[in-house]
Copies of this chain bind each other. A is one copy, B any other.
């Protein structure tokens, strides 16, 4: 771009790293990723993640954990007028602990309501419980089991719980409201 063409300069980005602007580092929550248009996943956000979360413009947050939401996050979501849906469920732990299909179905009804978008679904580490929820969502999207498990393991790493079996067997009805369903389902 030459100086004679300066009227066009503002149209283009100036993201050279050697400019003098203060560069604020954005810190996404642990295991943050996008699941589908309007739906994000992660571990439990902490104070460091608030500027990042603000940029997402979240309308709601779905939290899967028997624990209370952390005080600082609770305050943040109140300030930002973000709605919380809290499902007090524990993860699958063989041989005796199993997530209730009904709970996952209820959470999915919230995920599949565009009035709640953008929504962040999170547990503590963003690996197993959320992996389960996303896996069941992928079943509704009719993904092949191979691709569902690939995605699950991308986050769960080597510690793969009984979740894959749970996802495979999951057949609970998910009565989401078609009037407000996402276009991608």
Q: Which residues of A contact B (CB under 8 A)?
A: 1, 10-18, 23-28, 31-37, 55, 112, 140-144, 146-147, 150-151, 154-155, 171, 173-179, 181, 184
Query: Which of B15, B17, B27, B143 is close to A147, meaning CB atoms less than 8 Å apart?
Result: B27
Knowing A26-B141, A34-B35, the reply to whether A171 touches B17 (Cβ < 8 A) is: yes
Whole-angstrom CA separation of A179 from B177 in the bound complex: 36
A interface: dominant SS: loop
Knowing A18-B171, A173-B16, the reply to whether A26 touches B144 (Cβ < 8 A) is: yes
Asked if B144 and A27 sit within 8 Å, CB to CB, the answer is yes
Asked if A13 and B147 sit within 8 Å, CB to CB, the answer is no
Extra contacts, 14 of them, besides A24-B142, A25-B144 (Cβ < 8 A), are: A12-B175, A13-B112, A13-B178, A13-B181, A14-B173, A15-B140, A25-B143, A27-B143, A27-B144, A27-B146, A27-B147, A28-B147, A33-B34, A37-B37
A13 CB contacts on chain B under 8 angstroms: 112, 174-176, 178, 181
